[in-house]
Structure 1
Amino acid sequence: MSLINTQEQQLLIDAIQRVENKTDAELVTVLARQADDYRYIPLLWASLLALLLPGAVNYYPEWLNPHQLILSQWALFIGLALLFQIPALQSRLVPRQVRHWRASNLARRQFLEQNLHHTTGETGMLIFVSEAERYVEILVDRGISARIPDAYWQGIVAQFTEQVRRGNVAKGFVECIDACGVELQRQLPATTTKNELPNHLVIL
C-alpha cells in the first residue's frame, strides 16, 4: 500500500493504544486499496456502445452490409472493453454511488470479519478507508452508539475524507483516531484494562 509505510503504521498503532488505554472502546483500522475491481462496468459500457452502433450507421446504410455490421460490433465491443480496463478510464465509468455502495458493503463485512461485534460491552469501533473510492466510514457497536449518536462521527469522517483526497492517509488516520478518542474518553472512560483485538492496521 503506497500511502502507508511501516513507520506510519506504527504511528497508527500508537494512536490506537493511546485511545484504548483511556477508554473501554476497541478500535480496529482497515485500509483497502479498492472495494471492487468493477470489471463488469467496462463490459456494460462496451456492450451498450456496441449495441448503439447500428443506429449510428443507419443513416449511411451503404457503409456496411449486415455481415460487416456484426463484425464491426464485435470489434467495437472488444476494443472498448480492453480500453475501458485502463484504471484512469475505468474510474470515470463507475458512478460515485456505485463506488460508495461497494465500499460501504466492504466496511460492514470487515466489521464482522474483525469480530468487532463480539467485544466485551459491545464497544467495538471500525475506522475504514477505501483508497481508490476516497471513502471513509466509522462503524460502532451498540455499546458505543448507545452513548454517542452516529451523527457525531460525520464531521470526523468528512475531515478524514479530505485528507484521503489529498493523499494524506496516514495523517488522516491518526487525526481521526485522536478525534474519536476525545469523545470516547468522555462517554466511555476506561473501567478495566483489556485489549481484545489487534491494534495493527489491517490492509486489504
Structure 2
Amino acid sequence: MYLRRLFRHLLLPHWWVLRVFPPRLLSTIEQAVKSSESGHSGELRVVVEANLPLAAVWHAQSVRARAVELFAQTRVWDTEHNSGVLIYLQLIDRRVEIIADRGINAKVGQPFWERVCRDMEAAFRTGDFEGGTLLALRTITEALAEHFATSAENSNELPDAPLLL
C-alpha cells in the first residue's frame, strides 16, 4: 500500500488536477463561495491538491493531517468569528477532508462534516466533481447561515477562488 501510494504521487503529473477541475469549474466554485459568504459571516476555503509533497508521502502523512496543516497555512483558523471552513480535496488518494474552526464545529459537530465528506467522495467516484463540490458548498452554506448570520461589517477574510496545489 505504501509503495503504491508513493508511486501514484510521484508518477501522476501535477497538471492532472486541471483535467478534473478545469478553469470553468474553478470559476463556478469561486462564484459559489462568493455567493455563500454573502449570506453568513463564515469563511469558506476550497483547496484542491493532486500530488502530496514528497516528504508528506515519504512520512506516510494522512490526508487528515495534511488538511490540518493546510488549515493552518492558509489561515482558515484566523477568522474573526472562528467560523472558517477548509474543504480539502486530495485527488490522488481520492479523499476529502473538512476542517472547521472551533466556532462552527461546536455548533454542528464532527458527524456533520464526515457526512459532507462522504457525500462528496460518493459523487467523485461517479465522476461528478462539479455536483459533489457544489452540493457540499450548499450544505455547508445552510449550516453557516443558520449559526452565523450576516453582520453589517461582514468582510471577506479569505480568498474565494479555489487554491490549487
Structure 2 spans left out of the alignment, 5+ residues? 1-16
User: Is 1:7 aligned with 2:39?
Assistant: no
Deviation at 1:174?
Answer: 1.2
Q: TM-score, normalised by structure 1?
A: 0.66
Indicate the structure (1 or 2) with the bigger Cα radius of gyration.
1
CA distance in 2, matches of 1:114, 1:39: 20
1:42-191 correspondence to structure 2 within 5 Å: 101-191=61-151
Give SS of 1:138's match.
strand
Q: Percent identity?
A: 21
Asked if the contact 1:27–1:125 (Cα under 8 Å) also holds between the matched residues in 2, the reply is yes
Give the residue type in structure 2 aligned to 1:143.
G
The superposition leaves residues 53-76 of structure 1 with CA deviations (integer Å, 9 ceiling, x where unpaired) of xxxxxxxxxxxxxxxxxxxxxxxx
Q: Which whole-Å CA distance do the structure 2 matches of 1:168 and 1:13 have between them?
A: 17
Q: Which has the higher contact order (CA 8 A, sep 6+)?
A: 1
Say which SS state the counterpart of residue 144 (structure 1) adopts.
helix
Q: CA RMSD in A?
A: 1.9
Q: Secondary structure at the match of 1:147?
A: helix
Output the TM-score relative to the length of structure 2: 0.81
Residue type of the alignment partner of 2:159: P
* Superposed displacement of residue 178, structure 1: 0.8
- Could you tell me how far apart the structure 2 residues matched to 1:40 and 1:130 are? 16
Q: What is the CA deviation profile of residues 118-173 of structure 1, one whole-angstrom value per residue up to 9, with x for unaligned ones? A: 11011110001100111001111111112221211222111101122223223221
> Structure 1, unaligned stretches of length 5 or more?
42-97
* Counterpart residue type for residue 117 of structure 2: V
